[in-house]
Amino acid sequence: MSARTAALTFGKRAIKLGLLAPAALARSREPGLLLLGYHRIGAGMEREMDVSTPTFREQMRYLAEHREVVPLEDGMLRMGAPLERDLFAITFDDGYGEVYDNAWPVLRELRLPATLFLATGFVEGIEPPPLRAGAGDRGAPPKPLSWKQIEEMRASDLISVGSHSQTHPSFGAISRDRAEEECASSKRMLEERTGGAVASFAYPGGVVAHEEVVAAHYRYGVAADGGKNRPSALTPLRLSRVPVRASDGMFFFRRRLSGLAPLEDRLYDRLRSARD
């Protein structure tokens, strides 16, 4: 880690500490389903979307020992009745090769299920990686998973796949016809390549729009928000997801598992919406 990155991480953690108290006031005590969102693992980007492999391993070990981790769709089925305790589902966006190289060995060893939300154009090699300009300048080149790697992981019954669109556009900035094409083409490719049904969709950038289009193709739509999904207020087409950031480490990761989503997530969401 460079000196600049270390200083930035220290600053972010200081801000998070200051926001813990107000976040605690907003925490829901009702048991529900928390979706944990990752992107790259151990790519050396020195950015929030890239969690180091040792930290990821420690986080997964903590989950395996202290929490109930379920496949996303199983968790949603169990939300049809009141829960006795929180459930957790692990997800990865875009389809980066580090998921196979660095995350999959950990998940396989600990027998933890996860869902891969794949941007099919990126995985096919016909679209660039869904990164902002300059975000991929450091670390390993952002290469996609291969379909062979995806099938190997799926064959374990631990890994399932969902759609993250074809070209990863913000759904808040495209037409209804474009959203229809993104949903239909991605689902069609995923089902042809894997031979299985695809029921879940993650909105690119977490921006919820064209829900009626998503509903025509998928049962579940995953957004951002950083909160817990509760049986008493369930919205299957705009499920909240808790992003796991590089600056979380273990201390803030455990806070997220307790339903204390750092209020920085709200700031990120507002900035994202303003950009779109």
What pLDDT does 272 receive? 45
Q: Does residue 39 sit within a domain? A: yes
Distance CA 188, CA 195 (A): 10
| Residue 9 amino acid letter | T
Domain boundaries, position 210: 30-275
Tens-digit pLDDT profile for residues 154-208:
999 999 999 999 999 999 999 999 999 999 999 999 999 999 999 999 999 999 9
Tens-digit pLDDT profile for residues 79-91:
988 899 999 999 9
Q: Mean pLDDT over all residues of the chain? A: 88
Let me know if 90 is exposed, middle or buried by CB neighbors in 10 A (0-12, 13-18, 19+): buried
In residues, how long is the chain? 276
pLDDT at 274 over 70: no
In the chain, how many domains are there?
A: 1
pLDDT at 12 over 80: no
For residue 20, how many other CB atoms are within 10 A of its CB? 14
What pLDDT does 137 receive? 78
Q: Which DSSP helix (H) or strand (E) runs through 12?
A: helix 3-25
The label of the residue with tokens 């769709």 reads: 73
Distance CA 255, CA 259 (A): 7
What pLDDT does 133 receive? 75
Q: Does residue 141 sit within a domain? A: yes
Q: Does residue 50 sit within a domain? A: yes
For residue 173, how many other CB atoms are within 10 A of its CB? 13
Q: Does residue 57 sit within a domain? A: yes
Tens-digit pLDDT profile for residues 116-127:
999 999 999 999
For residue 2, how many other CB atoms are within 10 A of its CB? 9
